[in-house]
Amino acid sequence: MSPTNKLGEGQYATVWRASFSIAHSKHFPQETSGFPAALKLLHADAGSLASGRNEADMLSRLSSAPHVLSLYGAFGLEPAALSGPGIRIEARPSPVAAIAGPPARLGLLLELCPGGSLDAALRRTPALGTRANVHRWARQLASALVALRTAGIVHHDIKPHNVLLTGGMDVRLADFGNAAPLSGPALTD
C-alpha cells in the first residue's frame, strides 16, 4: 500500500483505493479483473471489527437501495492477502456471517466514489454547490432515506462527510458502522 492510494481514515478504519478480481458474485455474473473499488480495512481492535461487521450487515440488507453505497464483499484478511503498490484481494467474497472468529483484519470491498465526500468536494470546489446540484443531491439522499426506513434501519450518523460523490456526481450514503435496526413497531404510511 502506498500513501497515494489512501482515500481516508476514521476512528474504525482506513479506506484505500483498490482493484479486485473475482470469478463470480451477485454483482458480477462473469469473471471480472482489475475492477476499481474502495477497500475499507477495519483497525484490528474489537470495537472496529464490530463496527465493520455491523456495516457489512446493514449494507447487505440495503443491497438494492438507491443512492446507498454498494458492498461488493466482506473479507477476513491475513496480512499476506494484501500486496502493493495498490491493493489486490486474493480472497473470494463471502457473506459477512461466514467469517468465523476474529480475522486478523476485516476488509469491506465497497463501491468507489471518486468524488470523495460531499463535505470535502464542496470545500475544494464551492462552485459545485449550485441550486440544481443541491436539489438533485437532496432528492437522491431522500430516496436513500426512504430505502432505509423501508428496510427498518436507522443510520445514526448522517452528515456531509458520510455522503459520497460518484464520478457522475450522484450521491451515495455511506458509513453504516453505527447504523441499527429500528426498535419497536415499524412506521407505516
Handedness of CA 178, 146, 158, 133 (dihedral sign): positive
Read off the pLDDT of residues 93-116 as tens digits, 9 standing for 90 and up. Answer: 444 444 445 556 789 999 999 999
Query: What are 133's three cell numbers?
Result: 446540484
State the chain's mean pLDDT as an integer.
82
Contact call for residues 7 and 13 (beta carbons, < 8 A): no
Among candidates 129, 134, 128, 141, which has minimal Cα distance to 172?
141
Answer yes or no: is pLDDT of 122 > 90: yes
Q: What is the pTM of this model?
A: 0.79
